[in-house]
Structure 1
């Protein structure tokens, strides 16, 4: 009888350990995109077209954007490979 009571106490004690409080933490991850505001434009200066033609033979300008710093974001395609190039107003290619 002692063994039966002792066994029951051990089993119930083991079950109560698993029924303990669980702590649930919710973590909120917020990401902020920092980006200069570019606005779409219809035409780019001739200096930029010339610089792109020299740097990328057979380039085709898809879309062009400008920001407040007079930097241009230009979407181009060369032989069906699309890319984005950043330039200044004089046609100098910027690293971004």
Structure 2
């Protein structure tokens, strides 16, 4: 009789362990954005292809500042009245989406 009660207790205990609530794991992701370092350059140091792209793509705008990084990509800050825009181009004048 003792063996019957003991085996019943073990079986019921085993079933109750499986009925427990499973642990929920929360994953935390962090996004790191690495910006290319741009250094300011004079307006006359910008290639003609970059200037013509800015003039054709954004007519009636004024070039405020120009920056260049190690990959020969240009960051142009242009303005039209009270609106300001930032445009990224490569050395050939192709617009880069960032």
TM range, smaller chain = 0.5 to 0.7
Greater CA drift, 84-93 or 71-80 = 71-80
RMSD: 1.6
Which residue matches 1:18?
Answer: none
Partner of 2:79 in structure 1? 77
**SS of the residue 2:87 aligns to:** strand
Q: Which runs of 5+ in 2 are unaligned?
A: 1-29
Which 5+ residue runs of structure 1 have no aligned equivalent?
1-29
Q: Which residue of 2 aligns with 1:40?
A: 40
CA distance in 2 between partners of 1:91 and 1:34 (Å) = 23
SS in 1 for 2:37: coil
Measure the CA separation in 1 of the matches of 2:67 and 2:88. 9
User: Hey, what's the Cα distance between the residues in 1 that align with 2:88 and 2:57?
Assistant: 13
> In the TM superposition, what is the alpha-carbon distance from 1:78 to its structure 2 partner?
1.9
Mapped pair 1:56 → 2:58:
yes
Deviation at 1:32, TM superposition (A): 5.6
Q: Report the 3-state secondary structure (helix = DSSP H, G, I; strand = E; otherwise coil) of the residue aligned with 2:34.
A: coil
Between 77-86 and 67-76, the greater mean CA deviation after superposition? 77-86
Shift of 1:80: 2.4
Aligned length: 67
**Cα offset for 1:45?**
1.2
Aligned position for 1:88:
90
- Whether the aligned pair in 2 keeps the contact of 1:58 and 1:79 (CA below 8 Å) is no
